[in-house]
A and B are shown apart, each in its own frame.
Chain A
Amino acid sequence: MLEISHVTKTFNAKTVNERVALDDVCLRLEDRDFVTVIGGNGAGKSTLLNAIAGVWPVDSGSIVIDGTDVTGMSEHRRAALLGRVFQDPMLGTAATMQIEENLALALRRGQSRTLKAGITKEERGRYKDLLAELGLGLENRMTAKVGLLSGGQRQALTLLMATLRKPKLLLLDEHTAALDPRTAAKVLELSERIIEENQLMTLMVTHNMKDAIRYGNRLIMMNEGRVILDISGEEKKQLTIELLMDAFAKASGETFVNDRMLLS
């Protein structure tokens, strides 16, 4: 379970650039929730994920993941509970290290790193099977440097790394935004499959309304650092883009004008 209570974050406080990125956000996720997060630019979607991941401390409020209060915990310590995939394919993997080395780093997330071998023979066998399941031919390139992979391949690998050690919560931050439409669709399908198989609690930020409606069992919309819409169950299944835009207009008192969203 994830419990976010009254979390507030202001960037550049007390300067002319002051911006309230999260404004008293309260959100509760059940163990098997797959929640899509949607909203315009600067709505606070990525900020919410970064707050959970601990990229910087929040100003107030508390974040509890699976009974552990992580509010004051450093980013690398709460990593034990989290799997993360970023928007930029470059961010999730170490380009100058091998595919199998990247996976070995991910397998040890939350463990203490000792002077034992960084990668073992048994692990290699397991990685080979998992990579084969991706269907990208990576199982035959396990010692290739990740920098040689395409954006889609890197995101697929990052997804595998994020879930290699089953996380309490999976954070997907517009992880298909930098990919071409076909690759994006593939990576999304892969994400859904992995989430289903491992029954993962997931927060997926997307700028694509269709994807937000199609995937997951619950949808939240953010605007100006607040959660303004929370749709789940049957209501979520009946959602259309038109309904979503109407709901936005009602909830925020303004029309949804965001080119990036309308076009996609």
Chain B
Amino acid sequence: MNLAVLLNALPGAVAQGLIWGIMSIGVYITYKVLDLADLTVDGSMATGGAVCVMLILNGWNLWLALLCAIVAGMLAGLLTGLFHTAMGIPAILSGILTQLSLYSLNLAIMDFKANQGINVTKYQLIVSQRNVRDVSLSNPIVITLVILALLIGILYWFFGTETGCSLRATGANEAMSRAQGINTKKTKILGLMISNGIVALSSAMLAHYQGFVDVNMGRGAIVIGLAAVIISEVIFGKLFRNFALKLLAVAIGAVLYFIVIQIVLWLGLNTNLLKLLSALIVAVFLAIPFWKANFSAKHPHKGGRTHA
């Protein structure tokens, strides 16, 4: 095993991790703030890229294309939100329904091809894998960090506003929110739209980074997003109390996830087994709080007995 091979692969892992970090912040908003598990992201993680790449291939301006990608993601979130609130379908199932419909829609957007390439020499792209080892402002790591900072700033501001607070309240206590006059159907839809808009932005950036969009690129995205959220909680949960820092921690969590994956691949794991590994890692981390609670219930602190 050659350490140089690993080191050489690290910049790529960091860049990918940061791009997926943006996506993970989207997952954080539904999973932690709104307390909803939203599986729409497996679809919108391809939608953003599909919309952005197709528009650029058709001669659109880069920034306009990115904006349209975000709007497309928000529409996907709107659909899930309507399934959930207007049709009374459980949140998880609503997300699955949207995800499935997005598979067809994504293909339709991509002219019914499973993937579409976009060449960095021919088109203006926001980030590209080609520059990942450059020491310049066009390095995808630098650009993604700037976008990440902007995104965290905007979200920090938003969740401090009246609307943002009502969204947080909905996730914290829905019955109380309604008693305080909050339209929880509206806040849930809004949360799902914001989340999927962010996921679509990440999707567009990932498509640019790798130079193509693939209809399957969102498969398992929710698991990667959850992994980032959970890793950030385990490592930074006690350290970061501030909301902006928590979002930053999620992005760092995603980077760590991709570094770990890179190491595992370097150690010789078959690439095809990667999704199994991701799922198992997330399952174990999700189980830790449950196991901890079970353990302390069965083995009470010895100190307590002297007072009993």
Contacts and interface: CB of A to CB of B under 8 A. Distances in A.
Interface of A: 53, 74-77, 79-80, 82, 84, 86, 90-97, 101, 104-106, 108-111, 113-119, 161
Interface string B165-202: 11011001101111111111000000000000000000
B175 A80 contact: no
21 contacts: A53-B179, A76-B178, A76-B181, A80-B181, A84-B179, A94-B173, A95-B172, A96-B168, A97-B165, A97-B172, A105-B165, A108-B166, A113-B162, A113-B165, A113-B182, A114-B161, A117-B161, A118-B161, A118-B165, A119-B165, A161-B180
Contacts of A111: 181
Interface residues of B, number: 22
Contacts of B181: 76-77, 79-80, 108-111
Contacts of B164: 118
A77 B168 CA distance: 19
B177 to A, nearest CB: 8
Interface of B: 158, 160-166, 168-169, 172-173, 175-184
B162 A94 contact: no
A76 B176 contact: no
Contacts of B177: 76, 94, 105
Contact of B178 (A79, A93, A96, A115): A79
A186 B169 CA distance: 28
Secondary structure call for the A interface: loop
B245 to A, nearest CB: 16
Given A113-B163, A117-B160, A118-B162, A94 B169 contact: yes
A91 B169 contact: no
Contacts of A106: 180
The B contact surface, by secondary structure, is helix
A76 B173 contact: no
Contact of B176 (A94, A101, A113): A94
A115 B166 CA distance: 11
A76 B183 contact: yes
Chain A CB within 10 A, most for which of B158, B176, B183: B176
B168 A97 contact: yes
Nearest to B172: A94
Contacts of B182: 76, 105, 113
A79 B161 contact: no
B180 A91 contact: no
Contacts of A77: 181, 183
A118 B182 CA distance: 13
Contacts of A79: 178-181
Nearest to B33: A96
Contact of B162 (A76, A90, A108): A108
Contacts of A75: 178-179
Nearest to B170: A94
A84 B173 CA distance: 14
A84 B162 CA distance: 21
Given A86-B175, A96-B168, A97-B168, 15 more contacts: A75-B178, A77-B181, A80-B181, A90-B173, A94-B169, A101-B165, A101-B168, A104-B165, A105-B165, A105-B177, A108-B180, A113-B165, A115-B161, A117-B161, A118-B160
A84 B178 CA distance: 11
B86 to A, nearest CB: 13
